[in-house]
Amino acid sequence: MRLESIHIYGFGKWIDQHFSFQQDGHIEIAGDNESGKTTLQQFILFMLFGLKSKQVERFTPKQGSTVGGRLTISGLTDHTVTIERVHGKHKNQAIIYGETGAQMDDEWLQTALQGIDRKEFQSIYSFDAHDLKQIQDLDNESLHEVLLAVGMTGTDRIYHTEKTVEKKLADLFKPYGKKPEINQLFQELADLKKQLTEAKEKESQYQRRLAEIEQVEEHLFQWEQEKNSTQKRQEQVEKRLTHYALIQEYYFTTAQLKRQNQNIPFPVEGLKRLNEWKDSILPLKSEEQVLRNNLAEIEQRITSLDLLPDEKLETIELGLKLHKEIDQIETDSQQIRKRITAIEEEIITKLQNMQINVTIDQLREAELPFYLEEAWADLASQREKLILEKQYAENDRSSTTKITQELMEEKEQLQQSLLEREQVKQYKDELAQVNQAEQQTQQQAQFHKWIQTYQKQLKISSFVMLIGFLIGAGLFFVTDLVWSIVTVVLAIGQNIAIRLYGQAFKQWLQPDQKQLKTMNQTEIMKRERIIQQQSELQHSLAEIEKDMQKYQNERLKQEERLSFLKERMSQIEQKITDQQKQYPFLANVELTYWPRLYQQVITQIEKLLEIKQLETEVNNLEEDKREQQQTFDELALAMNDLESTIQKEQAKRNEHTQLQARSTEVQTQLAAIVEKQKPYQQEVNQLLQKAEVETEEAFIEKGEQKEELQALQQKHNQLYDSLAVIFSEEEIKQIADGDFDDEKTLQIILDECKQAINETTEKTKEKQSLLSDQKASVAMLEANEDVSILKHQLALKQEELQEVAKQWSIYQVALTNLMEAKSMYSHKYMPQVFGQASHYFNKLTLGRYQHIYIEDNEKIIVEDRDGFVFHVIELSQATKDQLYIAIRFALSHVIANRLALPFLIDDGFVHFDSNRKEKILEIVEELSKDHQVLYFTANPTAKASIIL
């Protein structure tokens, strides 16, 4: 499959763009960062597989163009198809157009792609620098597993799945762990068993009973062992008695075989081979005699033929040939004239059917250059696209107009709901007065509270002043006058300070006594609600104004776009008018059918050229006819008997040739028959030499001796096989040596074994009766409540352990199946992948590393040019990258054989040196021989096909 061209209506930064991919080899698409390379890749994936609506949003052009385009593909079917996908049209499904005008749906496209979805396409046919970064983030120990996983799926999903399952197993159980769930359950079971044992140890009687039971069970076990041993001996004896005749016959046969000569020199199946060789020689002798008789008869018939001289026959043949050529030229000339007439009639009929008012003479003078068809097709495509874009633009304008009208209606409704500003202001003032009244009430309450506090402070100050006067008076009489005055002044000062403080704060704290309006709580809530609603209405109106401005700007852009499209449409219509003036027959034909009309007109012009060629052929044939007739007249031959004379002479010559060939064939067959007899005679002589005899009679006699020895050996082997089914190798050897009891002795041993078994059975029954009584006593002791509870807990814990163990088994089976799947895949596909990868790796490393192998189906190793082997751990990071790329390309090459879809390779080689990057581009070029390769890079080379 090849991508022929791309036409983008709108996708990300690309609007009304066309790309052609007609180049041979890989197609290099170069551009700087943010130049649109990734967007172009995403457009290709969008056209093939589509996108979800949310994902399409990030590729919607900022200029408001339609998201979608066309993708022309060849190789998907027998003819070229065009995929068109437009977001919001046909339920976001693709429409596929064939060359004949047929339309297919998205389901047909998925069938043609053999069910490959977007994810599988990206894992097989896509490669970028992210893959290298992902492989560099892993440690060396995990790198082997990831490379093998890449070989299986093209990604590291197998590796991560395997690690997830292993982690689940480790979380459930570890052989020497304590934290895993199963390990904890094991520990809990051990603790419960220990508790149960301790509970049982408290019952001494229970332990004694257990000991007695154990002793009895030990005796029963010993007797059972003795009984089993005796039964086995009985079975051996019965077996020997049953097959005593076979044992005896094997002993006699072995003794007889020992007396025979084991080394008789004789070839394998010598008698049979001797008879076969003799039977093969007799028909050859008979066939030799028949061939000699046939050869004599053929030579006699050859001498009886009378042939004409070669020169006479050549003259007659030349005359006949010239006569036939003259007749053929006349016939060809008439057929060509009929063909010319038919073509002219066909052209006239075709021109009349096309209804374009063109005659044959006008058609001969018409000049239709080769590029005209493409120009007409491009003209039709441009007009169709402009009509579609104009329709989309008009729809967008209608939608914008409708939204603007709705916004205006909503604005009018909101404006009708608005109150007068004075009314709203009055409500706000009333609420402010209510708030001031509340604050005035609070201030009045605080003022009264302060007055009460102040009165208390004033009383305390007066009391202090009185105490000061008394102390001052006392000091006046006790000490000097100074201290008395100081005390009185301080007492009076603090009282004056308190009074000044009271007057100042009284003026400051006393609230205003003006009359304020008051309302109840219902009226307050009503006015607050009205003010809130008016505020929300004002905000909504502001938002509507912004939206109206936004859609007004959008409408201006749409009007500008429509004006541009109309101007483009006018230009297209002018081009159409120019073409109709230049080619008047286009006036009555719809533009869509111009390319098809071009093909039909070109076809008629080609037929006129064919007529011209046919007329030239007629003239050449007439000239040839005159030359051939002149040559025939010079031969002076009669026309009547030429053909019969040649036929008779040719019959004689054919018979002569056939006889010569038959003679040669018979001589060859005779020589072959003689030669065939030699190997048979040589084989007979070799048989006699191998048997060390000189005559066939002695050979036959020795062969009969050999057959007798083989029959005895065969009987011995059959008897051995029969005994091997019953007895061991050692027992069979003893039988061959005669070391076995006779039949009477075996019968005595059998009777003794039966008697011993009966005695042991009786003793066992007595002990089992005693054991039953003791177990009944133990069962009564086990009815203790502690023991029962512990047993119940133990059973519950065991059940829980079984459930967790079942879950662990499921993960274990999953891991095993995963490993088996990896192994099966490795044996089937990995040799192909690693064979191709070795070729790529050799190129990437400039011939340093020759081969890639898998050691024990687990470890990847590489071999250098000197034969030294390296594990992946021992390679440098750059070499690991090259190894990963080699395996990745080889995998894509092998898997992609089922469907040759294009490769999309992003620039993942920016860190490579110039030599290795050159080699990688050679590999990309090699891939492009079988698959189309689109190579996106920010570092263009001289082979860059498209510069973004």
For residues 918-935, average pLDDT: 80
Structure tokens that stand for 125 in this block: 């046919």
User: What distance in Å separates the CA atoms of residue 85 and residue 180, rounded to the nearest whole number?
Assistant: 54
pLDDT band with cut points at 50, 70 and 90 for residue 923:
confident
User: Could you tell me the CATH superfamily of domain 2-123?
Assistant: P-loop containing nucleotide triphosphate hydrolases (3.40.50.300)
The secondary structure of residue 62, as a DSSP letter, is: T
Dihedrals phi, psi of 115, to nearest 5 degrees: 75, 5
For residues 666-691, average pLDDT: 78
- Residue 344 · residue 611 · CB < 8 Å: yes
Report the range out of 780-789, 840-849, 907-916 with the highest average pLDDT: 840-849
The residue among 68, 71, 93 whose CA lies nearest residue 81 is 71
Stronger pLDDT, 215 or 159, i.e. the higher one: 215
Check residue 508 and give its pLDDT. 66
Q: What is the rounded radius of gyration, in angstroms, for the C-alpha atoms of the chain?
A: 58
Check residue 349 and give its pLDDT. 78
Check residue 857 and give its pLDDT. 57
Dihedrals phi, psi of 162, to nearest 5 degrees: -65, -45
pLDDT at 231 over 50: yes
Structure tokens that stand for 807 in this block: 């879950």
Check residue 154 and give its pLDDT. 42
Neighbours of 506 (CB within 10 A): 13
For residues 170-180, average pLDDT: 71
- Residue 784 · residue 199 · CB < 8 Å: yes
Long-range Cβ pairs for the range 30-34 (8 Å, 24+): 30/936, 30/937, 30/938, 30/939, 30/940, 30/941, 30/944, 30/946, 30/947, 30/948, 31/936, 31/938, 31/947, 31/948, 32/938, 32/948, 33/938
Q: Helical H runs in 479-593? A: 481-509, 521-582
User: What distance in Å separates the CA atoms of residue 509 and residue 505, rounded to the nearest whole number?
Assistant: 6
Angstrom CA distances, 218 to 63, 73, 222, 223, 446, stand at: 96, 86, 6, 9, 103
User: What distance in Å separates the CA atoms of residue 401 and residue 555, rounded to the nearest whole number?
Assistant: 8
For residues 705-722, average pLDDT: 78
pLDDT digits (tens, 9 = 90+) for 344-357: 788 777 777 776 77
- Strands of 95-97's sheet in order across: 14-20, 2-11, 68-74, 81-86, 95-97, 103-104
Buried b / exposed e across 120-134, counting CB within 10 Å, b at 16+?
A: ebbbbbbbbeebbee
For residues 444-456, average pLDDT: 80
For residues 117-145, average pLDDT: 61
What is the number of residues in the chain? 948
- Residue 468 · residue 496 · CB < 8 Å: no
Task: Give residue for tokens 């000061």.
Answer: 468
Which amino acid, residue 188?
A: E
- Strands of 859-864's sheet in order across: 849-855, 859-864, 869-871
pLDDT band with cut points at 50, 70 and 90 for residue 6:
very high
pLDDT band with cut points at 50, 70 and 90 for residue 139:
very low
| pTM, 2 dp | 0.35
Neighbours of 158 (CB within 10 A): 20
pLDDT band with cut points at 50, 70 and 90 for residue 295:
confident
Report the range out of 661-670, 694-703, 732-741 with the highest average pLDDT: 661-670
Buried b / exposed e across 49-76, counting CB within 10 Å, b at 16+?
A: bbbeeeebeebebeeebbbbbbbbbebb
Helix (H, G, I), strand (E, B) or coil at 384: helix
pLDDT digits (tens, 9 = 90+) for 547-601: 888 888 888 888 888 888 888 888 888 888 888 787 777 777 777 877 777 777 7
- Residue 161 · residue 769 · CB < 8 Å: no
pLDDT at 864 over 60: yes
pLDDT digits (tens, 9 = 90+) for 755-802: 888 888 888 887 777 777 777 766 766 665 566 676 777 777 777 777
Spatial neighbors of 180 by CB under 8 A, at least 6 apart, are 170, 171, 172, 173, 174
pLDDT band with cut points at 50, 70 and 90 for residue 689:
confident
Helix (H, G, I), strand (E, B) or coil at 15: strand
pLDDT at 119 over 80: no
Let me know the angle formed at the C-alpha of 150 by 147 and 151, rounded to the nearest 5 degrees.
Answer: 90
The residue among 764, 693, 663 whose CA lies nearest residue 292 is 663
Check residue 132 and give its pLDDT. 57
User: What distance in Å separates the CA atoms of residue 899 and residue 889, rounded to the nearest whole number?
Assistant: 16
**Can you give the residue ranges of every domain in the chain?**
2-123, 303-366+583-637
Long-range Cβ pairs for the range 909-916 (8 Å, 24+): 909/885, 910/129, 910/938, 910/939, 911/878, 911/881, 912/878, 915/846, 916/844, 916/845, 916/846, 916/882
Mean pLDDT, the chain, as a whole number? 77
Check residue 416 and give its pLDDT. 83
User: What distance in Å separates the CA atoms of residue 175 and residue 178, rounded to the nearest whole number?
Assistant: 9
- Residue 163 · residue 133 · CB < 8 Å: no
Stronger pLDDT, 478 or 839, i.e. the higher one: 839
Report the range out of 76-85, 119-128, 181-190 with the highest average pLDDT: 76-85
Check residue 204 and give its pLDDT. 60
Check residue 532 and give its pLDDT. 84
The residues that bridge with 3 in the sheet, in sequence order, are: 73
Long-range Cβ pairs for the range 683-688 (8 Å, 24+): 683/273, 683/277, 684/274, 684/277, 684/278, 687/267, 687/270, 687/273, 687/274, 687/277
pLDDT at 652 over 50: yes
pLDDT at 82 over 50: yes
pLDDT band with cut points at 50, 70 and 90 for residue 842:
confident
Check residue 153 and give its pLDDT. 46
Which amino acid, residue 415?
A: Q
Spatial neighbors of 879 by CB under 8 A, at least 6 apart, are 845, 849
pLDDT at 314 over 80: no
User: What distance in Å separates the CA atoms of residue 496 and residue 35, rounded to the nearest whole number?
Assistant: 89
pLDDT digits (tens, 9 = 90+) for 350-392: 777 776 777 777 677 777 777 777 888 888 888 888 888 888 8
For residues 733-739, average pLDDT: 78
Structure tokens that stand for 514 in this block: 């003006």
